[in-house]
Structure 1
Amino acid sequence: MLQFLVAYKNPILHTCLSLFLTFIFSFFKIPSLFLHGLHTYIQPDNINQDAVRAAIRRPESSNPSSTPQGYQNLSSKANVEPRKRIKSKDKVEFDENNAQIFRIKLDDTHIKSRLYFNDYRRAITLSFVCLPCLLLQFYLGGSESSGFFANGIFVPLLLGFLSFCNLVLSVAKVSFEKSWSTQSEKQLSVLFGGLGFMLGLMICCEIVPSGLDFSFGRINGIGRVFVAVLMGFLSGFLLVPALKNARAFWLGTDQLRSNLSMIHCGWFARMILYANNMLMIFTALLWINPFAEVLVNKNIDDTKGARLVREVGDAERLVGNLGMSRYDFNKLRLWCLLLVGLMQIVVLRPNVQMYLNEALLCWYQRLHASKVPDLDFSRAKVFLHNHYLCLVVLQFLAPPILVLLFVGLSQIDGNSCISFQSVCSLQPCFPFAKELALFLAWWVVFIWAVFTSGSLALYRCGIWYVS
């Protein structure tokens, strides 16, 4: 029995860690706790009309002037009745009772009632169980003599595959929600998915071999088409979340200059948003050869650490003669990918809060648009933003989790799978799998940076606007 425990200690540790994390996430309700305390908004129905409105009715009260417990009235001061105006025969006055909006803090009961909560809970639990197992495997390592199952490598690989499939299928499922995105956004997703597939074919077939610091010479034509399809799939389904991320950044950093403290973030959250955007763009450029060559010193021998002496021209004195060694540069790229994934998780709560504040901004704009505002649109928008909360969280959560999963899979020791190479024909499939995982991690960061930066440029030029 003792020999069995010693021989199979790695898979036993992985199994115990997975079960322990699953219990912690379920017992302490971590998915709900992650969103606890965020502010959402509810606008009551128009009480002077008999028609049914697309909004959540004000609970526990039939009196329009009273404020329910736990709700904060944002349209008037506390304990002050809305001023009744005398209506004239020629003028139509607006009833201020219809301008009320309530702010509440999300708790476990509110979050569980939202649409797609089960998908969000399953995705975050499975992902945050898989990532520590990948980290544990990285520190435990493995040896060729132990074998595939004794090394325990199959546990993080299986969890990683399940987490990836669940996350991708969940994002694909919510992307077809009719009330969530407009027809133009769906058409743009299909367009950019096709463009991503074509660009993937060009990259995999090495039509532009000097463009990216990746090599796809180890796979055949079918494998390259599969990688291109996966790239197009990620491009199409991550477009709408990237557009929402850009809107959240635009509101959080107060680019509208609205000076409404309840809509934009504080100074610390703004710094995180700016740092996240800059780090994402910097990381996306690290695999593009013209930029990477500036940061790598080709005159440093990685094995000996000695500087090679050769005659160079004036044009070559900067590029290839400044920077760090190739080994240190590869480590820098991995750390940047890891930091991008972690930073995306850190800014998830501010992004979700800005998504909810977008409904408040719509209510404010509609309220001051005319003397007799029509609040039906803002009432429906407040309802939809409140109703699809977990859907948005799932879309914001997908890119960082995919990046962290791919980075973790790319760092698994190849010696652990030596005995498993027989199913991969005669070609060294495992080194290519690690290279492919690293490439997909960069691809997610790249398309996220391109979509977000392009959307912000359109907002800055006034072509797009937040309403």
Structure 2
Amino acid sequence: MPSSTSLIFSTSNLIFHTAFAVSLTLIFSFLKIPALFLHGLHTYIHPDDVNPNSNSSSSGIRAAIRRPSAIDSEQPKPRKKSKEKFEFDESKAQIFRLKLNEGHIQSRIYFKEFYSAFNFSLIALFSLLLHRFLRVDKDAGVVKNGTIIPLLIGFVGFCRLLFLIVRVGFETSASKRLEKQLSFVFGVLGFVLGLIVIFEVVPKWVLDFEFRSLDGLGKFVLAVFMGCIVGYLYIPALRNSRAFWLGTDQIRCNLSIISCGWFSRMLLVASYIMGIFTSLLWISPFAELLVNKNIDCRNESKMVCKNGDVMELAGSIGMPRSDFDNIRRWCLLITGFLQLLTVRPNVQMFLNEAVLCWYQRLHASKVPDMDYSRAKVFLHNHYLCLVVVQFFFPATTVLLLLGLSQFDDNFLKGISLVSNSLLYSALVKELALFTAWWIIFVWAVLNSAILALYRHGTLYVS
């Protein structure tokens, strides 16, 4: 029978978790962190959208690119007409830069959905982080020791992000029809690959995951879920690759307004490299290079193997399995955090993509047709928060799933519906960790393949 001290301590955890979540909800409702997260980004508009009678400098709007002869003037002067008279009016060719504030961001589509998902995800992450550092009575049960609060908040936060990315994926005019068709094709391929992996058609030594506790229906549902992740991550990965291509100035356009600064460029490169490295840590042939399976424990200059033999440490390579598992979780955490930091640079590159389209159309012919670039600038402004959701989803879901995988080995103890709490606790942790890795793996593979097509010249930004 548990002592009165442990019972009071467990109940205080539950009260503390509840008060902490409610306090964060109230604080975030006043701080408006999602709007601050996007504050200061630069979007672009055509002069047709600006009132010609208003002062552009006082409203925060200024020309992003002007002719050299018009630097000192308030309004750009039209080019002198040559002998051949064209109908194109160059005064309509200027593009203006607008610094986004809270009022502009709130008018974008899907802002409310992004606002609520952002705040709820932050609350879930902080709640999971708090549970990680609190002392938990494992024998008290999932309700009494307070584990139920971060568990529910983290799971609901993951489901909300999942439903939001599905809703965004069904937006008809936000992407091309070909992109949606390819997204469906990749989803089917991901489902087939999921069946191959889950039902162990490939050798067991390929992936460092086991799903022995799942029955046939559970494995089929997991394979469907894997295919859905691939399908809904294709379009965000395509936009992320374009942002990386522009942000690192791979097209060598020599336009400073399109490329990003050195710090943002460093974040883009670090996030891409870290994603590839982390995805390889669960590939068994690569993991075997870093793990010494003969090690059971280590004592200074000697180690004891499982068969009891003593071997000299000199000349052996690798690390203990427990240390390697900790490194893999840390790499998942770093990768998710880096992807979260690159959301702003990626969104800025998405907006700068419209500038590149305008610049290409402007110099395509002597009488450029600006209707396409004008429509592209409008759509990039209109779907700003939709794209933010697509960039925000992979990083946040990885962090949430990683937090859900860090509970105790028997955290489901005390739930009457769970017959074998130890078995199902291990299964839930394994599924959460596998889903986090699968998102990183799919994200790294899709980005690498798309960047390879850009490098080969098959795809190009326009």
Using the size of structure 1 for normalisation, the TM-score is 0.90
- List runs of 5+ in structure 2 lacking aligned partners: 307-314
2:379 matches 1:384: yes
Q: How many residues align?
A: 445
The separation in 1 between residues aligned to 2:95 and 2:264, in whole angstroms, is 25
Which residue matches 1:27?
30
Shift of 1:251: 0.4
Which residue matches 1:202?
196
Query: Which of 41, 50, 60 lines up with 1:58 in the alignment?
Result: 50
The answer on whether the counterparts of 1:302 and 1:326 sit within 8 Å (CA) in structure 2 is no
Query: Which of 178, 182, 186 lines up with 1:188 in the alignment?
Result: 182
Within 5 Å, which residues of 2 pair with 1:275-290?
275-290=270-285
Q: What secondary structure does 1:8 align onto?
A: helix
Query: Which of 399, 407, 415 lines up with 1:420 in the alignment?
Result: 415
1:70-103 residue CA offsets vs partner (Å, 9 max, x unmatched): 1011243353444345657853153221111110
Which residue matches 1:259?
254
Q: What secondary structure does 2:139 align onto?
A: coil
Shift of 1:15: 1.3
1:184-216 residue CA offsets vs partner (Å, 9 max, x unmatched): 110111111111111111111111211100011
The separation in 2 between residues aligned to 1:159 and 1:180, in whole angstroms, is 30
Shift of 1:350: 0.6
The answer on whether the counterparts of 1:15 and 1:155 sit within 8 Å (CA) in structure 2 is yes
Letter in 2 for 1:74: A
Q: Are residues 4 and 330 of structure 1, via their aligned partners in 2, closer, same or farther at CA, if it must alter by over 3 Å?
A: closer
The answer on whether the counterparts of 1:82 and 1:96 sit within 8 Å (CA) in structure 2 is no
Q: What secondary structure does 1:104 align onto?
A: strand
Which residue matches 2:16?
13
1:384-422 residue CA offsets vs partner (Å, 9 max, x unmatched): 001111000011000011101111010011333222275
Q: What secondary structure does 1:351 align onto?
A: helix
2:310 matches 1:307: no
Which residue matches 1:244?
239
Shift of 1:289: 0.7
Within 5 Å, which residues of 2 pair with 1:272-421?
272-302=267-297, 306-308=302-304, 321-420=316-415
The answer on whether the counterparts of 1:414 and 1:430 sit within 8 Å (CA) in structure 2 is yes
Q: What secondary structure does 2:97 align onto?
A: strand
Which residue matches 1:95?
89
Shift of 1:141: 4.2
Which residue matches 1:173?
167
Shift of 1:326: 0.8
Deviates more, 1:137-146 or 1:439-448: 137-146
Using the size of structure 2 for normalisation, the TM-score is 0.91
Which residue matches 1:231?
226
Shift of 1:302: 3.6
2:67 matches 1:73: no
The separation in 2 between residues aligned to 1:66 and 1:426, in whole angstroms, is 65
Letter in 2 for 1:285: L
Deviates more, 1:364-373 or 1:116-125: 364-373
The separation in 2 between residues aligned to 1:278 and 1:338, in whole angstroms, is 14
Within 5 Å, which residues of 2 pair with 1:114-129?
114-129=108-123
Identity %: 53
Letter in 1 for 2:59: Q
Q: What secondary structure does 2:349 align onto?
A: helix
Letter in 2 for 1:26: S
The answer on whether the counterparts of 1:296 and 1:321 sit within 8 Å (CA) in structure 2 is no
Q: Are residues 172 and 200 of structure 1, via their aligned partners in 2, closer, same or farther at CA, if it must alter by over 3 Å?
A: same
- List runs of 5+ in structure 1 lacking aligned partners: 46-56, 311-319
Shift of 1:226: 1.3
Which residue matches 2:311?
none
Shift of 1:258: 1.0
Q: Are residues 307 and 241 of structure 1, via their aligned partners in 2, closer, same or farther at CA, if it must alter by over 3 Å?
A: same
Shift of 1:179: 1.4
Q: RMSD of the alignment, in Å?
A: 2.3
1:111-159 residue CA offsets vs partner (Å, 9 max, x unmatched): 0000000110011011000011111112224223322211111111111
